[in-house]
A and B are shown apart, each in its own frame.
Chain A
Amino acid sequence: MTRTFKSAAHILFAAPVAALMILLFAAAPDSTAADTNVQVQLNTQKAGPREIEPLTARGILRDYRFAWTSMAQALESNTLDPFEGPFSGDARQWLRQTVLGQQQSGLSRRYLDQTHQLEVVFYAPEGDVMELHDTAQYQLQIRDGDKTIHDEHVVVHYVVLMTPAADRWVIRQLQAVPQF
């Protein structure tokens, strides 16, 4: 049992440091079924060997947030359409399997009050792939039909691979790990 809980240290981690390039992208909650209150902070200080341009950083923030919003919607409503666009390759494959499994078993998941502290740890020399570490916090609810069988605030560490597509960055790999 290695579940970790929200702590002051995690909040302090997000404190802005002048030398860091930290961008904040948050959206107000809306009235749709899935919770779209997804906050993403991006730290590009460790990015390398290629330097990240501000425009690229903004694109990553926008597209990563959109991916999690879409994923939350898909896993709550058990629909596949939200995965088209923000996800690609293996990530989209296992997310589709997840939804199909949920449809069969009558389960659904909710990711509420998401915050993501995203850090770029590798940006390929030619800019064709980026690896990020996401320390994500959210309220995870598992429902069996109308019954909530699990409700917990969690901190999960994700290793993420993103690649540029025609008009956006897409998530190709989203792999949770115990720690970075």
Chain B
Amino acid sequence: MGFAAACAVACAAQDLRVPQSAVAGEIATISTTGSGNATFYLIGPGVSRKTDVTLGQEVPLAAQDLRNAGEYLAIVCSGTCSSANFYVSAAKPSSITFLVHPSRVPVGQENVVSGVAFPFDQHHNLVLTTQNVSFQLTAKDASLWSHPVQTQNGVAWFRTSSGKSAGPVQVVSALGDLTSRRVLQQVASDPCNLRITGQRTKAGILVQTDPVHDCAGNVVSDGTIVTFTATGAQGTGTVDAPIKQGIARAQIDAPGAAAISVASGVVMGNEIHVGAQP
């Protein structure tokens, strides 16, 4: 502070006039007063420049020097130094950073899909002026949901529920001509109306499910585990089987009569009774 106060008295002959509003990546000029040679410094985000200048002439600032938004400090020294600061703001948006979660989601779940969008200019500065961002969810070219949002502090976000149908969903954030796309996979939810049939074979009891769907009619994903439980005179046994092509099958080694039930996750199915081996 002492240095600055001293300069205010001694440096009247080398005043600086800095840009009132500068935009990232655009040229600008700083005007100086006085006469004679001086050293000019430009201090800012990503720039630390030192050049010789002639007082009384304009100092050009290259677009490259001002590509980062932020605060800049111009200093001119000729015996003593004087300084002035100015701000460079982000240019117009040229890209959208778009984060979407999750990448895989069961259908029919409330508020499970969320997205966050940040507009950036071509120099990767965060655009802090208010922008209108449109979020859209589409599946097979049909719009499932859309929502316009204004950025606040350089960010726009949404949260919504998953749709009713399994399959890929495109999530798009659009800002003017700019778009950013992500794909999330909607998968069937928990099985609904889980039903099994069974028959005795030479090797035991062969049980299998009907095609497993969720309550919206989507085929439950292959690999989903179905648990068969057999209860008979000899005790209780369980067999886990993954769904393959919509159906889960298991062979249960039970010579006597058995009651067989089925479950997948928290969903229970029907129970069947199979008689003893003849």
Chain A positions within 8 Å of B, measured between CB atoms, are 1-3, 49, 90, 93-95, 97-98, 101-102, 104-107, 109, 121-122, 124-126, 128-129, 131, 133, 140, 142, 144, 148-153, 156, 159, 161, 173-178, 180
Please report the C-alpha to C-alpha distance between residue A171 and residue B101 in the assembled complex, in whole angstroms: 21
Closest Cβ–Cβ distance, residue A112 to chain B (whole Å): 12
Contacts of B3 in A (CB 8 A): 148, 150-152
Stretch at the interface among B64-72, B226-234, B241-249, B264-272: B64-72
Contacts of B81 in A (CB 8 A): 149-150
Closest Cβ–Cβ distance, residue A85 to chain B (whole Å): 19
Closest Cβ–Cβ distance, residue B188 to chain A (whole Å): 23
Interface size on B, residues (CB 8 A): 45
Closest Cβ–Cβ distance, residue A26 to chain B (whole Å): 23
Chain B positions within 8 Å of A, measured between CB atoms, are 1-4, 18, 39, 41, 43, 45-50, 68-71, 73, 75, 77, 81, 83-87, 89-90, 99, 101-102, 114, 116, 118, 124-126, 128, 152-155, 157, 159
- Contact: A121 with B153, CB < 8 Å? yes
Please report the C-alpha to C-alpha distance between residue A3 and residue B18 in the assembled complex, in whole angstroms: 13
- Asked, given contacts A49-B159, A126-B101, whether A156 binds B71 with beta carbons under 8 Å apart, the answer is yes
Closest Cβ–Cβ distance, residue A124 to chain B (whole Å): 5
- Asked, given contacts A144-B50, A149-B41, whether A124 binds B75 with beta carbons under 8 Å apart, the answer is no
Q: Which residue of chain A is the closest to B1 with respect to CB atoms?
A: A153
Q: What is the total of A-B residue contacts with beta carbons within 8 Å? A: 124
- Contact: B116 with A125, CB < 8 Å? yes
The contact of A105 among B45, B49, B128, by CB within 8 Å, is B49
Contacts of B114 in A (CB 8 A): 124-126
If A1-B85, A98-B48, A101-B46 are given as contacts, then 4 extra A-B residue pairs at C-beta distance below 8 Å, sorted by A number, are A49-B157, A94-B45, A109-B43, A126-B99
The contact of A175 among B39, B85, B125, by CB within 8 Å, is B125
- Contact: A149 with B124, CB < 8 Å? no
Please report the C-alpha to C-alpha distance between residue A148 and residue B71 in the assembled complex, in whole angstroms: 20
Please report the C-alpha to C-alpha distance between residue A122 and residue B102 in the assembled complex, in whole angstroms: 19
- Asked, given contacts A90-B124, A131-B153, whether A2 binds B75 with beta carbons under 8 Å apart, the answer is no
Please report the C-alpha to C-alpha distance between residue A29 and residue B155 in the assembled complex, in whole angstroms: 37
Give 4 nearest A-B pairs by CB, closest first.
A101-B48, A94-B46, A125-B114, A176-B71
Please report the C-alpha to C-alpha distance between residue A3 and residue B71 in the assembled complex, in whole angstroms: 10
Q: Which of A124, A175, A176, A177 has the most CB of B within 10 A?
A: A175
- Contact: A129 with B45, CB < 8 Å? no
Contacts of A159 in B (CB 8 A): 126, 128, 153-154
- Contact: A142 with B70, CB < 8 Å? no
Q: Which residue of chain B is the closest to A147 with respect to CB atoms?
A: B77
Closest Cβ–Cβ distance, residue B97 to chain A (whole Å): 9
Contacts of A128 in B (CB 8 A): 99, 101, 116
The contact of B18 among A1, A122, A133, by CB within 8 Å, is A1
Contacts of A173 in B (CB 8 A): 126
A-B contact pairs, 25 of them (CB 8 A): A3-B85, A49-B157, A90-B124, A94-B68, A97-B46, A98-B48, A106-B50, A107-B48, A107-B50, A124-B99, A125-B116, A126-B99, A126-B114, A128-B99, A129-B99, A140-B73, A144-B39, A149-B81, A150-B81, A151-B4, A153-B1, A156-B71, A161-B126, A175-B69, A177-B70
Please report the C-alpha to C-alpha distance between residue A148 and residue B3 in the assembled complex, in whole angstroms: 9
Contacts of B69 in A (CB 8 A): 175-176
- Contact: B47 with A101, CB < 8 Å? yes
Closest Cβ–Cβ distance, residue A123 to chain B (whole Å): 10
Please report the C-alpha to C-alpha distance between residue A107 and residue B81 in the assembled complex, in whole angstroms: 15
Q: Which residue of chain A is the closest to B21 with respect to CB atoms?
A: A178
